């Protein structure tokens, strides 16, 4: 995407990422991350910032990311509560995608089925946000 196709500049998008992290009390300190965690963080961070720059992801006044899907549905990613972790535990072992969908459904207060029909470009951002929320 060329610079003029972005709706938000990179500095503002980065500030939104940091504002979200602060509002959710997320730990973005890289010094304690191993190589795999660091790469996952970088990938998720880039996906978040790029979505803000494109205008499909915004951070509301409460510090919650709001993602507008191509279908017109808006997802608001609220701070995870204990129920998000219980949703993950209710899934079978080695069903990692099902666990991600269960947590995403809990955090966004949306039916789990919505995640099964999302295009890849959208579900990847959902996974990135959920991963940062749970890992932070």
Residue 7 confidence (pLDDT) above 80: yes
pTM of the model: 0.86
Its sign, for the CA torsion 18, 6, 80, 121, is negative
Residue 54 confidence (pLDDT) above 90: yes
Contact between 103 and 123 under an 8 Å Cβ cutoff? The reply is no
Kindly state the average pLDDT of the residues 99-105: 88
Contact between 135 and 37 under an 8 Å Cβ cutoff? The reply is yes
Model confidence band, residue 92 (pLDDT cutoffs 50, 70, 90): low
Contact between 53 and 14 under an 8 Å Cβ cutoff? The reply is no
Contact between 110 and 87 under an 8 Å Cβ cutoff? The reply is no
Given this model, what pLDDT does residue 50 score?
Answer: 97
Structural domain boundaries of the chain?
3-135
pLDDT in tens, 124-133: 999 999 999 9
């Amino acid at each position: 995407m060329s610079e003029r196709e972005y709706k938000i500049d990179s500095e503002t998008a980065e500030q939104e990422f940091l504002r979200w992290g602060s509002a959710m009390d997320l730990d973005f300190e890289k010094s304690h991350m191993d190589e795999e965690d660091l790469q996952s963080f970088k990938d998720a961070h880039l996906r978040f910032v790029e979505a803000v720059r494109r205008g499909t992801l915004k951070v509301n006044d409460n510090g919650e990311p709001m993602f507008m899907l191509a279908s017109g549905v808006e997802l608001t990613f609220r701070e995870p509560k204990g129920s998000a972790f219980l949703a993950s535990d209710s899934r079978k072992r080695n069903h990692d995608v099902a666990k991600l969908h269960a947590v995403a459904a809990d955090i966004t207060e949306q039916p789990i089925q919505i995640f099964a029909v999302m295009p890849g470009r959208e579900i990847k951002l959902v996974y990135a946000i959920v991963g940062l929320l749970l890992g932070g």
